[in-house]
């Protein structure tokens, strides 16, 4: 069995605007963090780099559903029981226009969520990812 483990953070812009009561702060979004397992067919020669090629398709699919994509990150792949971590071979997609993620009750700086997922980034005094 071949699989890749990804983290995806995305949210709905319309829900966020309604929650905030304004439409002008595009740096905040109500979003969810999802851990996604993707299974690959046995005939595919799976590598870390190959697994990372899914980013564009995932992003395009979510955007077609009117989701704002904040993060797509390949954590690891598993090939027939052998675990391989992504240690920088495939950099994450990060939407740098987003600085705060909300869960409906509280706002969290994006860099803190990324740090919790093991993704170290630099950020400015307004919490924007550099």
For residue range 63-101, list pLDDT tens digits in order.
999 899 999 999 999 998 899 999 889 999 999 999 999
DSSP codes of every residue in the chain: -EEEEEEEEEEEHHHHHHHHT-SS-TTEEEEEEEEEEEEE-TTS---HHHHHTTHHHHHHHHHHTTEEEEEEEEEEEEETTEEEE-SSSSPPEE-TT--EEE-SS-EEEHHHHHHHTT----B-TT--B-
pLDDT attached to residue 56:
87
Q: Per-residue pLDDT for 39 more than 80?
A: yes
């Amino acid at each position: 069995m071949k699989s890749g483990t990804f983290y995806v953070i995305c949210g709905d812009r319309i829900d966020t605007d309604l929650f905030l009561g304004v439409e002008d702060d595009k740096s905040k979004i109500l979003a969810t963090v999802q851990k996604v397992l993707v299974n690959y067919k046995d005939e595919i020669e799976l590598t870390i780099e190959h697994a990372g090629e899914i980013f564009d398709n995932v992003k395009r699919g979510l955007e077609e559903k009117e989701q704002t994509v904040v993060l797509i990150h390949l954590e690891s792949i598993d090939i027939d029981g052998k675990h391989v971590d992504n240690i920088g071979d495939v950099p994450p997609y990060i939407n740098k226009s987003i600085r705060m993620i909300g869960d409906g009750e509280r706002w969290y700086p994006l860099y803190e969520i990324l740090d919790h997922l093991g993704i170290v980034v630099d950020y400015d005094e307004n919490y924007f990812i550099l």
